[in-house]
Structure 1
Amino acid sequence: MRFIQKLLPASKWKLVLSTIGILSLVAFTSIVLFETTKAEVVITDNGKERTVTTHKNTVEELLEEVDITVSEHDSLSHDLNAEIESGMEINYDTANQITLAIDGNENTYYSTKDTVEEFFKEQNLSFSKHDDISLKGSDKIKDGLQIEVKKAFEVAINDGGKDKVKNFTGGTVEDLLNQYQIEIDDDDKIKPALDEQVTKDTSINIVRVDVKEEALEEKVAFKTETKQDSSLLKGKQKTIKDGKDGKVLKTYEVTLENGEEIERKLVDEKVQTESVNKVVAVGTKEPEAKLTTLSSSNSNTTSSSDSKTLTMTASAFTSSCSGCSGYTATGINLKDNPSKKVIAVDPSVISLGTRVWVEGYGEAVAGDTGGNIKGSRIDVHVPNKSEAYQWGVRKVKVKILD
């Protein structure tokens, strides 16, 4: 500097100093002016706020200046070509990639939302309470997040005859029963099997099987024994000993399906009271009166001073047959009187109500008719079918008593 002062006259030196001062002032003023003309902008980058001053003209230029690259899915509060203004607040959020699989069908989404619930609302996605979602609605969104949803479908169940519908997202029959706490016993029947996969077309049928024991006291009907008695006239009977029904306790294994009995097995039988057989004396004594038979080519009828005797074909019938009413043509109730002596006749031969004596049968009343009882044919009433078979068809003498 001193060297320069020696070379320059004083007047020129003053001019140099003055010029330097002016240039310094201009430079300082320019710096101050540059700094004071910068715009102050607040940038919130993914929740982190910072304040910057800039001379950039647009938002895009400013973001490039602060090393922020905006992709098409990112969220930006302003257009990229918006002009920078002092006091401007710019919000920027980077979009996160989300993979959503619904019933195995995957789709990729980008979102700047904070939670799974907000993401679903953004995408207009709604699910029922029965759907199975891998994440909670309050879970935070992060880049690369994967969400799996299994949508529930209705499954028809017939449980013991009662229909019900349950929502299910998939699995086996056993999984569904466990989910709804539907218990089955070892005896119960179920279709499809427990390890079968349930689909939208599956219908489940449960048959409730109940096996129990049932004890019943049953009557044992007494039997009738016959003994020949030579002191009684033929056709006469006399009860020597009354019969008495016995009792037996039978235990059954009863199988019910949905409350209805389908099988009954006898598993035990114990006699409580023995039955007592009825003993009946059957007369074998021939009647003392001598019967005469008068035959002719036109009639089987013989006459005497006090009676008429006919030779007739006799079969037997019983009121215990299937479909029989038990009442005769004259109103006799044979089911209530199974030992009643009644014969069926052709009324043109023997009038209804006539008392008769029948060989091998005894005294009886002509109290019934029959479709096959024509002419010299009669039907004798016996208590049961076995006695009817024993009687068979035979020729007998029939004596008219009145």
Structure 2
Amino acid sequence: MVEKLKGYLKKYFSNGPKAMYIYLTLIVLIVCVVLISSARKTITVSIDGKDKKIMTLSSTYRSALSNNGITVGPKDKTTVSLDNKVENDSKISIKRAVNVQVAVDGKKLDIKSAEDNIEKMLQAEKITIHQSDKIYPKKDSTVKEGLMIVVTRVETKDIKEVKPLDYNTVVKKDEDIEQGNNKVVQEGKAGEKETLTRVVYENGKEISRKVISETVKKQPVQKIIAMGALNVYTPSRGTRIPYTTAMRMRATGYTSDYESTGKSPGDPYFGITATGTVAKRSVGSYSSVAVDPRVIPLGTKLYIEGYGYAIAEDTGGAIKGDRVDLFFDSNSEANNWGVRWVNVYLVK
């Protein structure tokens, strides 16, 4: 094209200096037009999904956009670097940053962001998120104008504590101790247990506490108390008589004579009890009495109201069940006793 123009100009402007000047001027203009035409580029600018075509002579996208009145904010995102060289028929997309608010660590941050979702926005803003933290809305939620994001810091602590382990108190009956009296046989000692408790905090405030494990480090020693189970009978004269069992029995009196035993003096068994002892009446000591061995075993020591201490040494054909026959030295004493209902205590 330029060669054709040169030929045309030579044909009509070949005479004189003035013609040559015009000729050169036109050549320069033509070259400029050609250069400008070749330097001009058409690009598509997409802003938030809306396309617009612009023509530019600028070498970079930054100047091309600026010369066309298109501003790019510091938080806006572009698909092509603004400092890249402009290519004809290329496309650059701009995503405008939107205003969002982030509540985190006791602060409310006003942020502009063009990131796709909350997770990328927090990363871009260098807001550290730990795995246990809670984010609302969810991390994959789209960032949009006016969005309010809440980051809740979640912290878990495991606390070890050594606590006392209470001991048990065991009470055992002891028939060697009078009723109403107790004796500490073994002092109790507290044990120790290690407790592992998991505490969860949200933004520094405790929201839950749960015992994860308990380990006994030292076993407790139980306290043992002997509780008096021994019965004590106290006659009117003040003697304290320990006993195991009390019975209400019909008491009669007997002697060694024939009327009571069917034996007379001279009989080798005269005055001899069923256990082979000599029947006796010992005031202040143990006297002989006859019992039913099925009720009171022979050899058992007794205390009988109104009679005193006795020992079951004898039996009798008529002494059955809840009966006891008391030995006296004379018939007059036996007759004076007569028949009575008395309390009989099995002495311990």
TM-score (norm 1): 0.43
TM-score (norm 2): 0.48
- Taking CA–CA contacts closer than 8 Å with sequence separation of 6 or more, which of the two structures ends up with the larger relative contact order? 2
